[in-house]
Structure 1
Amino acid sequence: MLCSLLLLLLVCSTQATHFYGTVMTYYPKTPHTNGSIEVVLRYKLNFLSCDDSDSWTCFLGDCGTQSVELHKVEESSGEWCQREGVMTRQVPSNAPFYLELSGGNWINDVVNDISSWEALTLVELRNRSDTNEANRSPQTTILPALRVPSNCQRDFNLLAFDPDGDKVKCRYGNTSQSECNPCTPPSVLKLSPSCTLSFSPTDSSDEGPYVVQLVLEDIPQQNIILTHTNGSKELKTSNDPISKLPLQFVLRVDGMVPFCTEGLYLPKFLPPTPANRARLNTPVNQTIHIPISAEANTSKYVKK
């Protein structure tokens, strides 16, 4: 059995003080004969220190029972810490349900005036007519913080892949839907539905950290029917989202640099680094080694 590993490579660095965002995806298991189903949810919570913590709670619907396993990933300079969680939920049916993360505070001095955090995941497990299986969420991930000089044009092509073959669209969160609180988008970024964030050169007055609060949605390529355990059905057209996931992080706009060419003041990835969004197959429960090499001006960093 092989798993697809989706690789996200972004030229960036980090700096932190408290909350740095979150991301979640989910994987349904084979339904039981009594109609119940097990779903595995993988999420990341990013803070200055792993002494800080929070947890996802049931927001709406029958979220069943849960068990959670946590892993800690510390950035080597001590600027941020990430908790990777694996939440397994046993739900009585394949009815959709919502999970919520809320609390405070984000990092200090956020330019777009966001302090408290809030994120929402819609878990849709009903059987799809095109695959005859439960819906699977898009696959995505992000580093806790990205950095860009204020005078450099940069595009961040975010990871967006759906195992069911659906279109994945990105949008900013909506305050009225409890997807963030508040959901003020960064004024220095433009977001495309295909999940590319574009930054254009800006004034020094715009420098500082921005909170980015995105929602990823999977949208079928054609009309499909979602079937509940009790036999009820719902039509989803090629304009209707099925599930939704939060993708939240920090963008820090730094001071100007003399040149924006990658490899000088901005890091540049070198071979044998895999391409951004590369998909690598690996057997389940086996370690995969990914060589990554980058340089900026006269410095070079290689990690395996």
Structure 2
Amino acid sequence: MFLSVVLLLLLVRDSYASHFYGVMMTYYPKASYINGSTSVELHYKVSYDLCTHTDSWSCSGNCGTETQILPLTKVDEISGEWCQREAVTSRQLTSNSPLTLVFASSAWISNVHGIGSWRAVTNVELRTRSDISKANTSPQTTVLPALRVPYNCQRNISMLTFDPDGDDVRCRFASSALSECVTSTNLSDLSISSSSCTLLFSSSANSSQGSYVVQMVMEDFPLQTITLTQTGGSQVQKTTSDAISTIPIQFVLKVDAAAPSCTEGQYLPRFLSPTPNNRAQLYTSVNQMLVIIISSQATQATSSELLYSGPYNVTKSSLGSGSFSLTWTPSVAEGGESHPICFVVQATVSSSRYQSELRCVIVTVGNSPSTTAAAPTTTTTQSPTTTQSPTTTAEFPTTTTQSPTTTAEFPTTTTQSPTTTSILITTTESPTTTTKFPTTTTPILTTTTQSPTTTTQSPTTTIPNYNN
């Protein structure tokens, strides 16, 4: 009996000891006051094997008073493997001087490096920048807790690198010498392209199988020498070689057994148009529904699941035949912010799992809940009534105006074949306000004909067939 209890305790201990799947953080300066005080909002995601583990961050420097806005709330989960959750906190600060946040504990899931404890560091810079006359906003990114690749297939994982201030964003492995992690990741199978923030995996050895701990940092650099001014007037300079802020990106890369083929679209799912391109910029408004439709193909496997990382209140749905949707309605609290969403499609053959490439988009949210954000104009020349592809057709409902003095824009509805998709933006509009966001090359289609007193739409529209 005693031996059974000991064995049970060891199993519980080992289960808890190998539970960490990674972390990331971004921040947004929120307010500056005449007395020199300021506030900052911090968004972070932590990933464990279960949705029950807690977290604790330590702070040094200008820490101020912390307020929890959102407790740890589930984003997405693979039952029995990982759970990612998001939390949001705010700090009210007496000045705009920097602060550092550290997340440290143990232990990583079992991995080929033998790394146990983790440490992740965020350097928050809030001093007023001379080039934009306001505080710095960190780069915006996210990633899934675990990505998969067969050991015989090279994979380039292109991280999202959106910076609201237009800075130069670079990535590198975290350094234990700089106290950015406990043990540095250093394997010949993994490398990073600093300027593109692309993680490269390349191996052909069966011995490469296992879980790799990926510990990266993402930093923003000014495009020219700038001055940072602190409350009270003191100043420091940042050159193009000086990082302004630092955020952690930590996750797991699972290297699986060899795939029968590395050609995308066979075992490894391939994205089909018009799934948004990687790093595409989308626009929506507060209280306005954004729908992203994603399509994939794997001829030798079953595309069974969409996995994503993004805001906690994004919902996902399966549309069948390798097609899925992500739906998000941002709240007033998210107005004026940019939020990353990353996703992969996972296919299965028996017990083997194969993932598509990682794709990410950035969604910029307008401030006004009464402003309709029409879909950005695309740079592709097209006629709303011209058939571009015989297999990609979307039908839109006939619409009528709500009143003689109201300009109304109605949701678009996409009827799709198993291999075609569309990104839709569904809007609810204030009676007299219609605002369009800047031009983008994202393949998003919204067809609207407006006049001062009526809004009509053509009964049918054919979407061009974009190849990704």
Q: Given the two structures, how large is their TM-score scaled by the length of structure 1?
A: 0.91
For CA contacts below 8 A with separation 6 or more, give which structure has more relative contact order: 1
User: What is the CA–CA distance in structure 2 between the aligned matches of 1:285 and 1:224, rounded to whole Å?
Assistant: 37
User: What is the CA–CA distance in structure 1 between the aligned matches of 2:122 and 2:187, rounded to whole Å?
Assistant: 22
User: Is the contact made by 1:75 and 1:81 (CA closer than 8 Å) also made in structure 2?
Assistant: yes
Q: Number of matched residues?
A: 286
User: What is the CA–CA distance in structure 1 between the aligned matches of 2:34 and 2:26, rounded to whole Å?
Assistant: 25
| Equivalent residue, structure 2, for 1:192 | 193
In our comparison, the structure showing a higher alpha carbon Rg is 2
User: What is the CA–CA distance in structure 2 between the aligned matches of 1:288 and 1:162, rounded to whole Å?
Assistant: 21
Higher mean alpha-carbon deviation, 91-100 vs 199-208, is at 199-208
Secondary structure of 1:290's partner? strand
Show the 5 A alignment for 1:152-163.
152-163=153-164
Correspondence 1:45 to 2:46: yes
Q: CA deviation at 1:76?
A: 4.9
Q: CA deviation at 1:198?
A: 1.2
One-letter identity of the residue aligned with 2:324 = K
Secondary structure of 1:171's partner? strand
User: Is the contact made by 1:43 and 1:86 (CA closer than 8 Å) also made in structure 2?
Assistant: yes
Higher mean alpha-carbon deviation, 164-173 vs 197-206, is at 197-206
| Equivalent residue, structure 2, for 1:67 | 67
| Equivalent residue, structure 1, for 2:208 | 206
Cα distance change on mapping 1:187 and 1:285 into 2, 3 Å: farther
Secondary structure of 1:272's partner? coil
User: What is the CA–CA distance in structure 2 between the aligned matches of 1:74 and 1:241, rounded to whole Å?
Assistant: 32
User: What is the CA–CA distance in structure 2 between the aligned matches of 1:221 and 1:247, rounded to whole Å?
Assistant: 23
| Equivalent residue, structure 1, for 2:241 | 239
Secondary structure of 2:292's partner? coil
Correspondence 1:180 to 2:181: yes
Correspondence 1:303 to 2:320: no
Correspondence 1:136 to 2:137: yes
User: What is the CA–CA distance in structure 2 between the aligned matches of 1:149 and 1:197, rounded to whole Å?
Assistant: 15
Aligned CA-pair RMSD: 1.3
Secondary structure of 2:177's partner? helix
Secondary structure of 1:46's partner? strand
Q: CA deviation at 1:114?
A: 0.9
Structure 1: which 5+ runs fail to align? Answer: 1-16
User: What is the CA–CA distance in structure 1 between the aligned matches of 2:173 and 2:198, rounded to whole Å?
Assistant: 12
Q: CA deviation at 1:190?
A: 1.3
Correspondence 1:117 to 2:118: yes
One-letter identity of the residue aligned with 1:52 = H
Q: CA deviation at 1:78?
A: 4.4
User: What is the CA–CA distance in structure 1 between the aligned matches of 2:218 and 2:201, rounded to whole Å?
Assistant: 20
Secondary structure of 2:86's partner? strand
User: What is the CA–CA distance in structure 2 between the aligned matches of 1:285 and 1:96, rounded to whole Å?
Assistant: 33
| Equivalent residue, structure 2, for 1:258 | 260
Per-residue deviation, residues 191-250 of structure 1 (Å, max 9, x unmatched):
011201111133111110000000111000100000001100001011111100000000
User: What is the CA–CA distance in structure 2 between the aligned matches of 1:134 and 1:207, rounded to whole Å?
Assistant: 44
Partner residue of 1:249 out of 251, 256, 260:
251
Secondary structure of 1:205's partner? helix
Per-residue deviation, residues 142-198 of structure 1 (Å, max 9, x unmatched):
111111111111111111111111100101111122211112234311101120111
Q: CA deviation at 1:87?
A: 1.0
Show the 5 A alignment for 1:17-28.
18-28=19-29
User: What is the CA–CA distance in structure 2 between the aligned matches of 1:165 and 1:74, rounded to whole Å?
Assistant: 30
User: What is the CA–CA distance in structure 2 between the aligned matches of 1:175 and 1:75, rounded to whole Å?
Assistant: 30
User: What is the CA–CA distance in structure 2 between the aligned matches of 1:162 and 1:196, rounded to whole Å?
Assistant: 16
Q: CA deviation at 1:77?
A: 4.1
Q: CA deviation at 1:133?
A: 0.5
| Equivalent residue, structure 2, for 1:164 | 165
| Equivalent residue, structure 2, for 1:280 | 282
Q: CA deviation at 1:62?
A: 2.0
User: What is the CA–CA distance in structure 2 between the aligned matches of 1:62 and 1:236, rounded to whole Å?
Assistant: 20
User: What is the CA–CA distance in structure 1 between the aligned matches of 2:135 and 2:287, rounded to whole Å?
Assistant: 23
Correspondence 1:54 to 2:55: yes
Q: Given the two structures, how large is their TM-score scaled by the length of structure 2?
A: 0.59
User: What is the CA–CA distance in structure 2 between the aligned matches of 1:233 and 1:84, rounded to whole Å?
Assistant: 35
Per-residue deviation, residues 110-167 of structure 1 (Å, max 9, x unmatched):
1112111110000000000000010111111111111111111111111111111110
| Equivalent residue, structure 1, for 2:101 | 99
User: Is the contact made by 1:38 and 1:89 (CA closer than 8 Å) also made in structure 2?
Assistant: yes
One-letter identity of the residue aligned with 2:123 = L
Structure 2: which 5+ runs fail to align? Answer: 1-17, 304-321, 326-468
Q: Percent identity?
A: 54
| Equivalent residue, structure 2, for 1:31 | 32
One-letter identity of the residue aligned with 1:96 = P
Secondary structure of 1:191's partner? strand
